[in-house]
Structure 1
Amino acid sequence: MTKTVGDNAVRRRALNRPAAGLIGFAMLALVAGCGSGNDDSSPDINAGPSGVRWQGYHGVALPHTDQGPKSTADGAATGFARTPAGAAVAAITHTVRMSVAPDNQWAKVIAKEVVPGPARDEWSVNRVQLSITGPASPEYAPRLLGYKITGYTSQKTATDIYTEYSDGSRAVNHTTVEWFLDDWRLRLPDPGSTTRPIDAITELPSDIVKLEAPKP
């Protein structure tokens, strides 16, 4: 039977657990990409995105930059530059959108923003058991602080995403995007993975790329 998410406590848990099979912000390629783009000649992974502006998506402020997304339709954001900054913005965008997408959009978001496979299938099975109709409460919505790319190639990029909540707590989400069908898509952790997808933190690293969302 489908359950309705009706309280903020459930929403917060959904925004803090990115593992495959769990719904939320923390819910949050080995597949060859199309085109040439195989030159991994040491791009600057510390160069942040340009032209940053902020747009809300169901209660969470997301960056829209020169590096993407180029378009949004039915809740799904696509069109990211094949650069470190493009990969990082894609990781942030996909993680949030799949986490807070409402009932009438989440299937389209997953289809356009997540690499297909067992992890995506398991996530979908769990998501269909919930009902999300309204935006995340400002009290529990994550606010982006910045990111750090921990591994980059033109095919696969690992990015740590740093966020803060209204109570002052902070967390880091460990994400991976892959170049799939001419765009960066989120790779969810394998269903059997024991790697922690999110960790609580007390201090921000000094070397993150600052990409701080406006305060509500």
Structure 2
Amino acid sequence: MNSTVTRPVAVGIALLAVGCGGGAEPGPQLSAAPTGVRWIDYQGIALPHADQGPADVTEGAATGFEHSPRGAGLAALTHTIRLSVAPDTEWAEVVNRELVPGPARDEWALNRVQLSMTGPATPEYAPTLLGYKITEYRDEQSLVDVYTEYSDSSRAVNHTTVSWYGGDWRLRLPDPQSTVRPVDAIDRLPPDIVTLEAPK
């Protein structure tokens, strides 16, 4: 009788042990720094190129980012800067290959047509990259804060969203009706950012 009673109990304990012992798989490492970083000038601003992207730059548009937190972080800061300073001859290609299609992209393009930028960014307005922080990561979309510094030593954080679209990380511009501030001035950097400080 003892054997018939203890056998189910033993099996139950064994299954419980297997369930507890397996453990959850570790999540993505959001604070891992890109590897193989080198700096390449674009419109007077030093941008990082790393093992995680971009893999290709054609007509000013940077594409080919790794499907990982590091790829998302690099894409966020790369697309943000290139979109801001792309000259008249390249901005359309940057928009088409670096942004998620939609009303926000269309509105940005309509506004850009009314401007003209033919040379490098004016030094006093050109940002220096300091790093980024991923505040939310999912395989299909991530929120990334991009930190920059300006010539007057002021600092800012740009709250960006990148989406995995067409096999690459693309910047998703805020909805035209959104009231959320995309950029905030800051006094100090968070201690846990992924540092990507451009050379002076």
TM-score using structure 2 length? 0.86
Q: Which runs of 4+ in 1 moved over 2 A?
A: none
More helix by share: 2
TM-score using structure 1 length? 0.80
Q: Aligned with 2:110: secondary structure? A: helix
Q: How far apart are 1:138 and its partner, in Å?
A: 2.1
State the partner residue of 1:94: 79
Distance 1:129 1:117 in 2: 20
1:68 counterpart = 2:53: yes
Distance of aligned partners of 1:118 and 1:41 in 2 relative to their CA distance in 1, 3 Å threshold: farther
Residues 46-69 of structure 1: CA deviation (Å, up to 9, x unaligned): 001000000011011100000000
State the partner residue of 2:187: 202
1:108 counterpart = 2:63: no
Q: Aligned with 1:126: secondary structure? A: helix
Distance 1:140 1:113 in 2: 22
List runs of 5+ in structure 1 lacking aligned partners: 1-39
1:127 counterpart = 2:94: no
Greater C-alpha Rg: 2
Cα RMSD of the aligned pairs, angstroms, is 1.0
Q: How far apart are 1:100 and its partner, in Å?
A: 0.4
AA paired with 2:72?
A: A
More relative contact order in 1 or in 2 (CA 8 Å, sep 6+)?
1
Q: Aligned with 2:118: secondary structure? A: coil
Distance 1:58 1:209 in 2: 24
What is the percentage of aligned positions where both structures have the same residue? 66
List runs of 5+ in structure 2 lacking aligned partners: 1-24
Q: How far apart are 1:41 and its partner, in Å?
A: 5.8
AA paired with 1:169?
A: S
Query: Number of residue pairs matched?
Result: 176
Distance 2:124 2:38 in 1: 22
Residues 128-159 of structure 1: CA deviation (Å, up to 9, x unaligned): 00000000122221000111000001110100
Distance 2:152 2:98 in 1: 30
